[in-house]
Structures are given as C-alpha cells and as structure tokens.
Amino acid sequence: MLRFRLFVFFLALSFSLAAGLVFWLWPQAVAAPTMVTEKQQIDSIVIEKAKRKMKLYRQGQLFKSYDIKLGFTPKGQKTREGDGKTPEGDYLINRRNAGSKFHLSLGLNYPLPAQRANAKAKGVDPGGDIFIHGQPNWMSELPALAHDWTDGCIALTNQGIEEIWRLTPIGTKVSIRP
C-alpha cells in the first residue's frame, strides 16, 4: 500500500512539474513569430535617431518605416555603460532572443573593436547588450511608451517588433545615424 501511495505521489509530482514547464515555456513559443522566406527578408535597417525613425530596406528599396524610442539621453555617440545613449555606426544583427524581458529582441554587435578600445583608453566600460526590441513584458497590454526610455536600445511597439522579427535574419546590416 505504501509503495502504491509513493508511486501515485511521484506520478502526480511529475505531471505537475511537466505541466508547469509547458505553461512556463508556452508564452515564449507563442511570442516568437516564424521567419518569412529568404526572398521576403529585408537586407538592411537604417535608424535615424533625430527623426526617431527605423527604415527597413529590401533589395535597396524602402520596404517599411517605424516610429521608435531610444536611450534616455539619445544625442551623441554611446561611449560608456549607463550613459543612456543609443550607439551610432554600422552594426549587424548577431542574435535573436524570443525570451527577452522585452517583447522579442534582435541584438546588435555593439561594441565594435574600435569602441572597446576607445572605452578602454578612457578607463570605462563601453556597455553592451544593445537590442532592437518591443515594450517591457510586464506592460504588454499598455500602449507604447511616449518618450525615450531605454538604456541605449531601440524600442518600438510590440506589433512593430513582431513584423521586424519575421523579416530580419542574423547578419542583417543596421546603420544608426545621428
């Protein structure tokens, strides 16, 4: 009888853990829209900081444009961690994160070697983890924030990042202009 009770207990425990894992992973699986075909993907992204615009290009032609928000002190080049600036220059999308604390995120290869060397010469940390992403997950049901609010990333609406996520492969060129 004791063996049977232990068996039932461990069976119930295993089922509970498996169900919990499914529900924990489910939002991440749903949140990551699938990629489009290679022919439909974009070639490059141009971010115009002063205009708060992100433009997607396919075969050299403007495909779509989005309103964006930047770091909390966006003017100028990012030189150190915590300065609230969005970096300027030419980068590549080098990672995709469907489980981010923001709604989807596409990582940039910031800092570049020259930016690391410049920061090292000044004795500061150049920062890192610059992403194109949506709104914070905890506020997914609220409207997009109306002001520059990131630590240096490029933010847009959740609907916008879902569209960009589908169109943007690893290796996409990103040019961030003043």
pLDDT, one tens digit per residue, over 37-60 is: 777 899 999 999 999 999 999 999
The active-site residue out of 56, 69, 133, 161 is 133
Does the annotation mark 133 as catalytic? yes
For residues 104 and 141, the model is more confident at 104
Q: How far is CA 163 from the centre of its chain?
A: 13
- pLDDT value of position 34: 78
- pLDDT value of position 8: 45
pTM strictly above 0.85: no
Tell me the C-alpha distance between 131 and 174, whole Å.
Answer: 11
Q: How far is CA 98 from the centre of its chain?
A: 8
Q: Three-state SS for 164?
A: helix
For residues 160 and 17, the model is more confident at 160
The active-site residue out of 42, 45, 93, 153 is 153
Does the annotation mark 147 as catalytic? no
User: How many contiguous H segments (helices) and E segments (strands) does the chain have?
Assistant: 3, 8
